[in-house]
Structure 1
């Protein structure tokens, strides 16, 4: 078998890994993606892709493929689980930068398969020059670079997907519910499929339900509060095998200010770089942003002046990636943690402030952080 030499090795076939590989492919750079599992990492079932994520997917050339399979969300509705009353409604109207905000709940498996289909078939590769760690929250590459293990946020989340054979009947809205120390949301993916999440701070007595999917489902149903029957049906009809539980972890944001995002010919991207709580829905979108920036700087380095030292060009390219992504990652991690803290804090005063004053502010924060453009797949001349 003919052996080939590749310039880039990517550890992890998740969103950041496959998107970076595809970005490099679009720019004429071959790469090898290494995945420790025996299949793609499809846990989580679905994720919200906001405007910034769609801009990255368009740069990769797969945006319209995914749009055709997922319904566009037209606004956010927030509801108190204590009173059952709507606390804010925010339509996705035109924003200051021009154009409407775009949000769709995307099936994670469909996203990964779409990225994979666009990649060339791999062969054996040796003598790679760059190692990119896209190996998730518990990244081995991040630890090699000196980052600490992500911290536990004190909260846990359950994510699920449910299929309504005859259609779910929901409007294309992101519906969020808060109160009594819990937060959950419901969002349609298409006419039949609905994605949901449920976040809570487990007490010592509640930790035992985490290990039993049946008990976990009953626990969620007992905490839904005052909601309509059609919202409750989303959780009732979800099969336990279509639920996934995970403790929420995040990178201490100040680590990004002095930590090594890159070192020599090694760097991290995606959740390996910026694990964050899901309160902005920006984890996957930020990974897609990383892939566009990273593919661009690497292609520029690898296609640079042949008279210059290639290894030094690669180092400078990765340093450029680190500069561009350091503050964006810091901002997203910090804001997500702050929003999550306010949304799930309990108590009479906090419930009043959140429902009467902060609900529109926090919904607007989601839109503001989504209005970001990571750029196109280009190589500077």
Structure 2
């Protein structure tokens, strides 16, 4: 009888849990070590594009997520005064990329992923360090407060400031500040009716999106010095920066409490890693290729990483070969978009808005072309379950 293989996943975020579920399906005995006391993430939503949904089909949760999430795409891009620069159509997105763009709370996704694992697989409040990356003929070793664990495969999914990455590649410069900070809020907003939108100003953006459960997810970003914080509270800071923008921005701000608002500076890996693996250890998600959120692909790429890693678990060099070029290209595109949507220069904003309007008038296909090669990605293995993957079988969110 073949020996049961063991995998240790350091980090219980979306990428780590997806990897754990995918490896469990491959027959691994999986342990997830999460430093925080709970898997439940703070209040924020995640947008899942068709590429990530197809990856989630591989572990059998894609259809459940499609049923629970709100379709995105019926909305568009606006100016702070409310003028539409570009209108989007959810159906056009689905037809071009073979599936919908959906939005759901991160906590919902985490719960769905954790449910795919056997009881006892996840340990919270479990700080872990990589003691030995291992090698052929020698297992990797992970040190925890309760002792060491040996593993045939260790997955470093410990985020942008990854300690596992630092152990594997000590000469890498690590993340750099992207030049802007972000705010996020998820709140109930009874009676509010509006189309999803992202609004681009000068050095500032705002997005408002209804969730299927009746709440609203809103996010904002602005150029700011690294580490800067509001002198009073972050809701007051948002009011100063966005309080006079178009509906529903003032309504969202009026409904939010100061404690609802999360603020984080944005960092990314400007220099790609030389590889996503070393010894018996593989990196994924922000630990491997942190990028600005301007394409909404950070979590999506982590999900892709996870199912590709499970596919190539016997050949980590093949995992690097499959993922490093793709994620590097997506990350560089995200940096370029950040320069475009966060530009502070009045003349550049005028040119940007004119070009976007012209592209939109030329047709949605031309505007959506920016996601070609990203949202149309397909995993290397067939799905275990997917009833609504084809456009003709999809059900719209009411």
TM beyond 0.5:
yes
1:61 aligned counterpart, secondary structure = coil
Aligned to 2:110: 112
The within-5 A match list for 1:108-187 is: 108-122=106-120, 126-146=149-169, 147-164=172-189, 166-171=190-195, 173=196, 175-187=197-209
Displacement of 1:363: 5.6
The within-5 A match list for 1:255-334 is: 255-256=272-273, 259-298=274-313, 301=314, 317-334=315-332
Confirm whether residue 364 of structure 1 aligns to residue 368 of structure 2: yes
C-alpha RMSD over aligned residues: 2.7
- Residues 1:96 and 1:112: Cα distance change in structure 2 (over 3 Å): closer
Distance 2:287 2:68 in 1: 28
1:273 aligned counterpart, secondary structure = helix
**Structure 2 counterpart of 1:375, from 374, 380, 392:** 380
1:137 aligned counterpart, secondary structure = coil
The within-5 A match list for 1:336-375 is: 336-358=334-356, 360=359, 364=368, 367-368=371-372, 369-375=374-380
8 Å CA contact 1:75, 1:91 repeated in 2? yes
Which blocks of at least 5 consecutive residues in structure 2 are unaligned?
Answer: 124-147, 361-365, 385-398
User: Larger helix proportion, structure 1 or 2?
Assistant: 1
Aligned to 1:74: 73
- Residues 1:194 and 1:79: Cα distance change in structure 2 (over 3 Å): same
8 Å CA contact 1:101, 1:367 repeated in 2? no
Displacement of 1:240: 2.4
- Residues 1:128 and 1:140: Cα distance change in structure 2 (over 3 Å): same
8 Å CA contact 1:178, 1:184 repeated in 2? yes
Distance 1:39 1:65 in 2: 23
Which blocks of at least 5 consecutive residues in structure 1 are unaligned?
Answer: 302-316
Displacement of 1:250: 0.4
- Residues 1:325 and 1:337: Cα distance change in structure 2 (over 3 Å): same
2:312 aligned counterpart, secondary structure = helix
8 Å CA contact 1:84, 1:225 repeated in 2? no
